[in-house]
Amino acid sequence: MNKSIDVKFDEQHIWHPYTSMQSPLPSYPVKSADGVRITLENGTELIDGMSSWWSVIHGYNHPVINQAITEQLSKMSHVMFGGLTHRPAIDLCKKLVELTPKGLEKVFLADSGSVSVEVALKMAIQCQLGRGYKNRNKFVTIKHGYHGDTFGAMAVCDPVNSMHSLYSDILPKNYFIDAPKSKPNGTFNLAELDELKALLQNSNEHIAALILEPVVQGAGGMRFYHPDFISGAKAICEQYNILLIADEIATGFGRTGKMFACEHAKITPDILCLGKAITGGYMTLAATLCTDKVALDISQCEAGVLMHGPTFMANPLACAAANASLSLLMTGEWFEQVKQIELGLRDGLQACLELETVADVRVLGAIGVVEMKKAVNVAEIQKLFMQYGLWIRPFGKLVYVMPQYVISKQDLTSLTSGIVNTLKAL
Ligand code: PMP
């Protein structure tokens, strides 16, 4: 018998992300998802513009990833990673070392993006201790950033967006510099590096690392900035022996048109965080990579080891999904797909610029952003999008999409024309 879904229970008992329990936004029950489509319990089919928050790059219900997980399931779904290892983890880490910028050799497999950021921050502090810097336990980051919801990660998120005021006595205090304004395809204003230069000159004895989202700042405002900021910042950090942590949890695996956004700046960070699309959005897994030098210096610190080891570290099912997802990427097809999506988004969203309510339209790789002049009413606008058969979840003033790489030209056109028509109707 097909039992009806208990949405009331959901509403009364289950937290959803950043949602009030008192007056929650609607949560639509999903029955299944396949390719670029999400099917609701009531039979409505929606083209997914969100890739489930950057992660489902190859589409839902992908036969190759399904098969990899099923095969792994029949062998083992999990074993502890302390004192044991396994083929899925080794295969995955080989691929990660091969794919990521040259010089990143050591891999820590974590269980979510936020945890991989925590690991990166700890790596940086322990590395500096290993180098003999006793007080380097703070971080520099750029305003409007987002790095996750755990305390360490939150402490390097934009202080206003992530409401640091709520946690003022418990959150570690870090350094926030102005976010670069030069656009990725324009000329870079060198003066944007001055604040970092001055800060590192004056306070380097307290600073372990600079952490940033290269080229695209995601949940902190969907801002795009010039890659020369990153190469310039890396050079300044090197002068003071300060590490650069690149958080590519959102931008990694082709999303910006390069396999990793750091490649736009032609740099290798000292530490790199990956997540989201690593498993093709099948399950939670993340990775923190670092250079040999960082790993060696960590081993020189008092602990002698990296102080982290989660229960589900290197979960074999997640590693199997990631191996399959990365094999799909390694065919290289993504490159042309992302290029076509970029063209389609540029072309399709351009009409938004003519709307009185729109402040800016920007596209990079397979990311399209329409910034409104005022914050949108999420519940209301989502209903309108759904009338066009679209799943889009804006936040604040930002209506944005990052479609799956496998989206067809026709579905991409439905997505962009649905956005234009919805915004016209507001
Ligand atoms: N860093 C960035 C850049 C992210 O976009 C996110 C997730 N939105 C995170 C970290 C945190 O990842 P997770 O939600 O998997 O903990």
**Percentage helix, strand, coil for the chain under 3-state DSSP, each rounded to 5:** 40, 20, 40
Among 331, 355, 386, the domain-final residue is 331
Domain that holds residue 174: 76-331
Query: Do residue 324 and residue 407 come from a single domain?
Result: no
pLDDT, position 29: 98
Query: Do residue 192 and residue 105 come from a single domain?
Result: yes
1 pLDDT exceeds 70? no
Q: Is residue 367 part of a domain?
A: yes
Backbone angles phi, psi at 142, to 5 degrees: -105, 145
Say if residue 309 carries a ligand binding annotation: yes
The 8-class DSSP code of residue 289 comes to E
Which is catalytic among the residues 60, 133, 146, 282?
Answer: 146
Query: Do residue 98 and residue 17 come from a single domain?
Result: no
Q: Is residue 277 part of a domain?
A: yes
Instruction: State the pLDDT confidence band at 3, using cuts at 50, 70 and 90.
Output: confident
**E strands within 213-256?**
216-217, 223-224, 243-247
Residue with CA nearest ligand 1 atom 10: 147
pLDDT, position 365: 98
Q: Is residue 67 part of a domain?
A: no
Q: What is the mean pLDDT of residues 137-146?
A: 98
Distance between CA atoms of residues 291 and 270, nearest Å: 6
pLDDT, position 2: 59
Is 247 an active-site residue? yes
pLDDT, tens digit, 9 for 90 and up, residues 334-372 = 999 999 999 999 999 999 999 999 999 999 999 999 999
pTM as predicted = 0.98
- Paired tokens of 393: 């979840």
User: Which of 51, 146, 215, when mutated, tests ligand 1's pocket best, judged by the most ligand atoms within 8 Å of its CB?
Assistant: 146
Contacts for 35-39: CB closer than 8 Å, 24+ residues apart: 35/59, 35/60, 35/61, 35/404, 35/406, 36/60, 36/403, 36/404, 36/406, 36/407, 36/408, 36/411, 38/391
258 pLDDT exceeds 90? yes
Say if residue 269 carries a ligand binding annotation: no
Least confident of 43-52, 168-177, 193-202: 168-177
User: Which of 56, 276, 285, 398, when mutated, tests ligand 1's pocket best, judged by the most ligand atoms within 8 Å of its CB?
Assistant: 276
Query: Do residue 324 and residue 360 come from a single domain?
Result: no
Ligand 1 mean position, distance from CA 98 (Å): 23
Q: Is residue 66 part of a domain?
A: no
Is 276 an active-site residue? yes
Among 331, 356, 380, the domain-final residue is 331
Which is catalytic among the residues 48, 158, 228, 247?
Answer: 247
pLDDT, position 341: 99
Distance between CA atoms of residues 184 and 385, nearest Å: 29
pLDDT, position 168: 84
Distance between CA atoms of residues 405 and 339, nearest Å: 10
Distance between CA atoms of residues 242 and 210, nearest Å: 7
Query: Do residue 303 and residue 417 come from a single domain?
Result: no
Is 111 an active-site residue? no
Among 331, 360, 390, the domain-final residue is 331
Q: Is residue 186 part of a domain?
A: yes
pLDDT, position 11: 95
Q: Is residue 47 part of a domain?
A: yes
Distance between CA atoms of residues 5 and 162, nearest Å: 33
Distance between CA atoms of residues 352 and 333, nearest Å: 30
Q: What is the mean pLDDT of residues 89-112?
A: 98
CB 24 within 8 A of CB 16: yes
- Average pLDDT for the chain: 97
Closest ligand 1 atom to the C-alpha of 53?
8
pLDDT, tens digit, 9 for 90 and up, residues 264-296 = 999 999 999 999 999 999 999 999 999 999 999
Q: What is the mean pLDDT of residues 304-333?
A: 98
51 pLDDT exceeds 70? yes
Query: Do residue 127 and residue 248 come from a single domain?
Result: yes
Distance between CA atoms of residues 125 and 414, nearest Å: 48
Ligand 1 mean position, distance from CA 398 (Å): 18
Consecutive H or E run containing 23: none
Ligand 1 mean position, distance from CA 146 (Å): 7
Query: Do residue 399 and residue 262 come from a single domain?
Result: no
Residue 222 C-beta-side C-alpha neighbours within 13 Å: 23
DSSP string, 71-85: HHHHH-S---SSS--
Residue with CA nearest ligand 1 atom 1: 147
C-alpha dist (Å) from residue 28 to 8, 377, 382, 385: 12, 17, 11, 13
CB 54 within 8 A of CB 261: no
Name the domain count of the chain: 2
